[in-house]
Every structure is written in structure tokens, then in C-alpha cells.
Structure 1
Amino acid sequence: SKEFKCNKCIGACNASGVENITEWNVGGIDKNSSLAFYFDILASKPHSSNAHPPVFLQFQTKYQHSDGSNRIRVTTVARCLAAPDDTRELAYGFDQEAASVLMARYAVERCKTDEPLDVIRWLDRMLIKLVSKFAGYKRDDPNSFRLSREFSLYPQFMFYLRRSQFLQTFNASPDETVYYRSLLLRESVANSLVMIQPALLQYTTDSDHPIPVLLDSTSMKSDVILLLDTFFYILVWH
């Protein structure tokens, strides 16, 4: 649709061209591969609250099948654009997990030209901008701060992202940094979230199933076994 255009694609791919790029080359795709597409809104026409005509986006994936034949797979998506001042509609369509991974990839991409400290400050500004628009609070009363469930996890993902090995490169070799970042740029949303915020699971003799617990020293108890999944490593504490 003419209402928006693709600004860039971030992932394990190479762009075909320099300007107005609409085609990217990918060496290979598996079930965990993902690409992050960023769009610019070109035109925003006013609509009534009950009328949001959809815009359309189409992906054409050309690949060679294992039998040697060349194939093309077409995926068409229809989405409605919310008005910029309609915070309720924007909040309803907000995917905080996907947004966290999109921000992480964009931050890693910015590290190619900017200092990591500047990128961290940019993340802080974006977080402040988001919560100032969608959070509820009373001035000079920190305890009154509230975020709806659509945004409740986003700040903690940003908390761990700014402290992660993707942006904190002290005591890490260039090879290590590139390795970590390259995996973040190609893995699925679920795997990327584990890289950003490791999963800590608690095992006890009273339960057959693990229980997710906080990444905090209070989770270390004498009668439990903890398993930390960072995607890159598995750590067991007992």
C-alpha cells in the first residue's frame, strides 16, 4: 500500500541496491530464522473512530527447494493503521515482546556507527518517551506509576538489554561481540528474548514442573535447584 514504505531490514541478509531497497538476499532460512522490517508511514489520513481501512503488505520469498526446483512463496498481510493520537488503539495492537526484539536489533545496528554508550542513552530516551505517553502516574508520586498489561514487560526487557553483552562490550573480544550480535540478528523472537533476559527456572521435589522465578538472589534457596538458560549457556545451581 502507498501509505507506508520499508525503511530497512535488519537480520542475516544483504540488501540488493542502495536506495529505495525492496529486495534482500538471505543465505539460508530455517524454522528459527527471522528478519526485522522497519517501515515509515508516508500518509496518515484522518478516519472516524469506527473506520480504519486496512493497508496491505506483501512478501515474496524466492528459494531453491531441496529437490532442485525454484519456488516462490507469497505472503500477504492486511493491517489497520491507528491514528497517532489514538493511544488506546495503539496500546491494543502493541506486541511488547516483538517490540523489544525490534529495539534490540535496531540498537545493535546503531552500534556500527555510534558508541555503545550513546546507543544505551538512546534506548533510555525511547523508553522514557513510551512510558510518558502510555503510563498512568501522578506527578511527584513514584508509587502511582502504572503500565497496562500490553506494556508491563517492556521496561524490564530494556533493563536487561542495556546491560547485555550486545551493548556492554567491556572485557569481551571483538570476535565474541560479533558472535553474540550475529545470533541476535537472526534468531526468532522467543530465542532473542532469552538472550536479552535469561530464563531462570526453579525445580523442587514437590513439583514435576519447573517454575519461572525472578533473576534475583532471593531465588537462591537451600531446598531448590535453579536452571539458568541464557541461550548461549546453561547453568545449574544447587
Structure 2
Amino acid sequence: MIMMHSFTSGEFEKNLEKVFSKNKDGEYSMCFSATLSIKTSRQIKVEGCIGHVSSANIKGANVSDTVEGIGGTNTWKINSLSTNSTFAFFFEVVANNTNQNVPEMQNNYGIVQFITNYLTCSGIRKTRVTTICRFVTDITSNMNHISASFDEETATCLIARKAALQCSTEDSSLVLRWIDRTLIRLCQKFADFQGNNTNSFTLPVQFSLYPQFMFHLRRSNFIQVFNYSPDETSYYRHMLFTESPKNMLIMIQPCLYSYSFNGPPQPVPLDAASIKTDTIILMDTFFQVVIYHGEVIDRWRKNGYQDRPEYSNVKFLLNAPQMDAQDLINGRFPLPHFVDTEADGSQARFLLCRVNPSKGKQGDGVNVLTDDVSFQVFMNHLRRLSVEA
């Protein structure tokens, strides 16, 4: 799926060309009429899938009574697949026998097998089998094992898909509360703190970025629909259900790069304090690539400093983000929308609406006029609610 303002635009034509691009073997990077089946060891049941699938309504002993996304089956139909297609599967660990509430934890491994059958563009039907084995443990008695294996990036992607799916049937305010409750429960289980002492609150290193991801997810265009058309919201959520975790994280928390005379381009926090008057900011949201010129840089550009031989360094500074932006655009499908703006420009809103509206030190960053709380305030509330007895 691609979203453009006009069928006659150059971006639409480039996207259409990428749809029919071929791989190194001369084949189209797509396949059709796919099915995906799951087989599991006896202590694991599948709850469902969140992605662009439909249920094949095939029951089995490994189908859980709990449903996440499209469940009640162990097989799904998929209209088409591409190299970027991903699916989120949810599983349940059950007791080994009726006398146990939890599975035995010693030497207990669960096996999941994915069987994908699809039709290539050349008319050949293929089957791919992927089998994984994971250690299964009980959170009540082996908290350290769960904590050590936690992947905050994958967890963020799963929560994002669940939240976006809930938004299709529930009001976004209810979904926001669900995200908050989920985050608070996680912190209460895995954070180290003394009761009613917010200063003692610390998260293990493998959880350190998770609250930050949730903060930006709450503010993302997957949850917030104000100022977006229904078509835009549907498109954003469609891509969230399609792309890889790497691209999903860019959608949730855009990447920010700063260009200045002080050194090579470097990544900077997604924060208002990172936007300086003498720097150029490149922001990648996956859907847009934004170049923002600080007030001083924009003044030099408008005065034509880059055209004077004695200011070749200004020309180099202005060209660097442009070239990097083109590399990002050309290497992505669908092509992101390119925005070139400056301080106080009308399109600077694309940048300002995504950064953390922090109150930096005097003279640092820009002031973002918003009703949203800053990440620091968000964390203060999270600490307080987590340590409450």
C-alpha cells in the first residue's frame, strides 16, 4: 500500500516502479496465496496473530482459549508476502498436567514451528519451515530469567501492534490508559525500589529504554488521530502491521541527527533541547524525512553564503543532510515524504510535534507549545505510581 496526493506525482511513479522491482535472480520480490501454520510442543498454545492475515478456522490441540488479534486457529491465510512482511504471534504456556498451575521449570523447553506455504510469481509453490526452541520458565519463581531475556525493542513493537488494533474498536483514551497500566505493572514487577520512595526507583539495563518507547508511542500517529484524516490513520496503522521491528521503532520513536561545524553528523535525542539555532536537524520518521535549518543556518542560506567561495564550509554543511536524506528516501519503500523547512517555517510542525517538549537549560533548544507533558514529567509520574504500596 502506498499513499500519495496525486497519481501524476513523481513520488507515485517511483513507488510504482519499486512495487515491480526484481531481486538479483530476476524475480519479483513478492508472492501470493500463502498460508502459515503453527505447530507447538504440548505446553505451548497459540493465542493469535496480529498482522495482515485472515483466519483459516483450523482448530487443534495447540489453540488457546485466549484470543489475541486473529485467534481461534493455528493456521492463517495471507493474500501476499514481500521481503518486509512480518507477523506478531502470541503464545500461552500451559501446565504439564491438571494438578499444576504452572509448568515444571527445570529443563523445560518449548518448541514452535512455523510452516509457510506460498506461490511465487513464476507459478511455483514453495514451503518454508522455521523451527525455534526457547527456554520456558515461570515468572513467579524465576523472575531473573525473564528479566535477563527481555527484549525491550520487540516488546515495544508487540505493544504497539496491540494498541493500534485496539484503536480500531475502542476510543484512543481507553487505549492510552491500557498502555499506561501495562507499563506500570511491568515496572512494579521488574524495577528495584523501596516502597513509597521514588528516589530509589531503578530499572534493569534491559528495560531502560522501554518507558521512553512507551512515551513516544502514546504521542504517535498510531494512537493520536487529531489532525489526521481517516485515510492517513489507516495507512499508518497498515504499515505498522507490515514492517520489520527496526522500521516500526523508527515509526514510534523517529531518529534525529544533528549537523554542525563542531564535527561529523551525530545522532541526538528526540528532544526539543537538540534543536539549536546553529545546527541542521535531519529527522527520519519512516513516513517523512525532514530537514530543519536552525535560525542562524537559515539566515546564512537566505543570504547566499553557500555561493561564496570563501564560505565553502557552509555549502558543505548545507549539502550533507540533503545527500543523506536522498540516501534514506531511495533505500526505502514506500518512499517517504520529503520536507525541507527552517525555524518558524510552517512545516517545522512535522519536527516539533514529535520531539520531547522538554524545558532545557536557558538558551538550549526551542520552546514547543503543547499540552503534552515532557518525558521527565512522565517518568516522575511513572516512578510515583510504581512505588506506591
Provide the TM-score with structure 2 as the length reference.
Answer: 0.58
Shift of 1:79: 0.5
Q: Residue 36 of structure 1 corresponds to which residue in structure 2?
A: 88
Deviations 1:81-106 (A, max 9, x none): 12222111001111100000000101
Pick one of 104, 112, 128 that aligns with 1:46.
104
Pick one of 10, 19, 43 that aligns with 1:3.
43
Contact 2:111 2:134 in 1 (8 A): yes
Give the letter for the 1:73 counterpart.
R
Q: Residue 102 of structure 1 corresponds to which residue in structure 2?
A: 158
Contact 1:52 1:82 in 2 (8 A): no
Q: Distance in 1 between matches of 2:148 and 2:181?
A: 23
Pick one of 106, 119, 122 that aligns with 1:67.
122
Q: Residue 208 of structure 2 corresponds to which residue in structure 1?
A: 152
Unaligned runs of 5+ in 2: 1-40, 60-71, 96-101, 294-389
Q: Distance in 2 between matches of 1:102 and 1:89?
A: 20
Shift of 1:108: 1.1
**Residues 82-93 of structure 1: matches in 2 within 5 Å?**
82-85=137-140, 86-93=142-149
Shift of 1:206: 4.2
**Residues 174-213 of structure 1: matches in 2 within 5 Å?**
174-208=230-264, 210-213=265-268
Asked which structure has the greater RCO (Cα within 8 Å, sep 6+), the reply is 1
Give the 3-state SS of the residue equivalent to 2:257 in structure 1.
Answer: strand
Give the 3-state SS of the residue equivalent to 1:132 in structure 2.
Answer: helix
Q: Distance in 2 between matches of 1:18 and 1:120?
A: 34
Deviations 1:57-96 (A, max 9, x none): 0000101234321110100100011222211100111110
1:137 matched to 2:193? The reply is yes
Pick one of 182, 188, 191 that aligns with 1:126.
182
Q: Which stretch shows the higher mean deviation, 109-118 or 14-23?
A: 14-23
Q: Residue 234 of structure 1 corresponds to which residue in structure 2?
A: 289
- Point out the structure with the larger helix share: 2
Contact 1:220 1:226 in 2 (8 A): yes
- Alignment CA distance shift 1:222-1:112 (3 Å): closer
Give the 3-state SS of the residue equivalent to 2:81 in structure 1.
Answer: coil
Pick one of 173, 183, 206 that aligns with 2:229.
173
- Alignment CA distance shift 1:136-1:168 (3 Å): same
State percent identity of aligned pairs.
42
- Alignment CA distance shift 1:33-1:141 (3 Å): same
- Alignment CA distance shift 1:65-1:18 (3 Å): closer
Q: Distance in 1 between matches of 2:275 and 2:165?
A: 36
Deviations 1:106-143 (A, max 9, x none): 11111222211111101110000000010012233322
Contact 2:85 2:242 in 1 (8 A): yes
1:214 matched to 2:272? The reply is no
Q: Distance in 2 between matches of 1:221 and 1:116?
A: 34
Q: Residue 79 of structure 1 corresponds to which residue in structure 2?
A: 134
Shift of 1:217: 1.8
Q: Distance in 2 between matches of 1:80 and 1:136?
A: 25
